[in-house]
Amino acid sequence: MSLTPNEAIQYDQHLKLEAIGLKGQVKLKNARVLCIGAGGLGSSLLYYLAAAGVGTIGIVDDDVVELHNLQRQILYQHQHIGSKKCIAAKQQLMALNPHIHIDPYDEKFRLKNAKELIKQYDIVADCTDNFATRFLVNDTCFNIKKPFVFASVSQFQGQCSVFLGEEGPCFRCLFPYDSAMDALRDCSEGGVLGVLPGLLGAMQGAEIIKWILQLPDLLVGKLLMVDILKMQFKEYRLTQNPECQLCIYQQAINLPSKFNSNCNESDNLSDHCISANELRRELNKGEAVFLLDVRTPEEFTAYNLGGVLIPLNELSQRLAELDRNKMIVVYCKSGNRSIAATKILINQNFGVKYLQGGLIQWQELINAL
C-alpha cells in the first residue's frame, strides 16, 4: 500500500520528518487502533489519530452526547446533543480525513465483547472513565498480548502510561484492585478542567503513533503524572508488583475481582462495606435492607436503586427519617460520599454498610452479567 497524491499533500509535514517519511506514513495508514471511550480523552486522541492518517480506527462507546459533555469533549457540538457518540465521532473524523476508515461500535465494552473487539486491532487506547473497564482492558490486552495506552484525568491532574500487554508491569501492578477506587476519583464526581483530557488524550495519541512507527522511548514501565495547575510533569518508574495476580501469577480473571471480593478498606470500615454482588444477593433474597442514596436530587432523578434520598450535606439533620430496625446500605456514585455518610451513621450507632465502588461498580456488575 502506498499514498494517493491527496494523502501525500495532507501528510506533507510527516513526510518531511526523517523518523516518519513515506515508509512511516504507510505504516500509519496500515495501522488499526481501537479507542475505548469517546469522551474527553477520546475526543482529543481521535482527532489526532485521524489527522495523522491512522488508517483504521475503531470507536467503542454507547453513550449519547449531552450538553454537559461539551465543556471538554471537543469532538462534539450542540448539533450532536442526543446523537450517539460513536456515530457523531465518525462523522466529525471523516470530515477531517476522508482517507481513513472508522468502525463505530455502539456498545459497552464488557467481558462478553472485550476479546472479540480488541483482537481485530494492533493497539488499544484506554479512554474510559472507570476502573472496572480499565481492568477489563488491561486483563484482555494481557491475555491476548496487545499493547494499550492508558490515561486518566481528575480535577487538575492526569496520568499516562503504556503497557505492552505481554510482560509486566501491568495496570494491576500499578493499581491493586481494592485501593483503586480511592486512588482516583471519577472525573464527573470531582470535576475536571476541560483542557486536561485534551492534553492527556493528545499524549496517548503521541504514544500510539510512536508505537506504530516503532520509535523508542515509550512510556513503558513509567507513569507520567501531569499537574496542570502547577504545570508540572513528573515521571515515575513502574515496577512489576511481585504479588500481581495477573502478570506474575497469570491468574485467569473472569469477572473483575472486586465484584466478588470482600471489602478490604484501609480506613477501618472493612466491616461496613458491601460489594455490588453481595448487595444484589441480599436484595434478591428479599432481605430487609434500607437503601439510602446520599447523592444530589438531580443524580437521584437521573438514575437510582430505589430507597430514600438524603443528600450527604443534609444527613446529620435528617437522621429521624432512617429506619433503625433495618440494615442501612448507603450508596452514591463511586463510594466516596457513602463512606463519609457511613462514618456519620456509625457515630450515631446505626447498623450501616456502604456500597463499595458505588453505582459505577453496581452498573459494571449488571453490565458484566
Task: Give the shortest CB-244-to-Zn ion separation in angstroms.
Answer: 3
Task: Give the shortest CB-135-to-Zn ion separation in angstroms.
Answer: 11
Nearer to Zn ion, 140 or 157 (CB): 140
Q: Catalytic residue at 332?
A: yes
Burial letters for 19-56: b for 16+ Cβ neighbours within 10 Å, e otherwise? ebeeebbbbbbebbbbbbbbbbbbbbbbbbbbebbbbb
Nearer to Zn ion, 174 or 181 (CB): 174
Q: Are 334 and 241 in contact (CB under 8 A)?
A: no
Q: Which amino acid appears at position 40 of this protein?
A: G
Phi/psi-derived region of residue 294, left when phi > 0, alpha when psi is between -120 and 50, beta in every other case: alpha
Task: Give the shortest CB-246-to-Zn ion separation in angstroms.
Answer: 5
Q: Catalytic residue at 127?
A: no
Burial class (CB in 10 A: 0-12, 13-18, 19+), 168: buried
State the residues that interact with Zn ion by CB under 5 A.
168, 170, 172-173, 244, 246-247
Task: Give the shortest CB-51-to-Zn ion separation in angstroms.
Answer: 34
Catalytic residue among 141, 160, 173, 332: 332
CA-to-CA distance for 88 and 102, rounded, in angstroms? 11
Output the nine-digit C-alpha cell for 81.
446533543
Q: Are 85 and 37 in contact (CB under 8 A)?
A: no
Catalytic residue among 160, 187, 244, 273: 187
Would you name the residues annotated as active-site residues? Answer: 187, 332
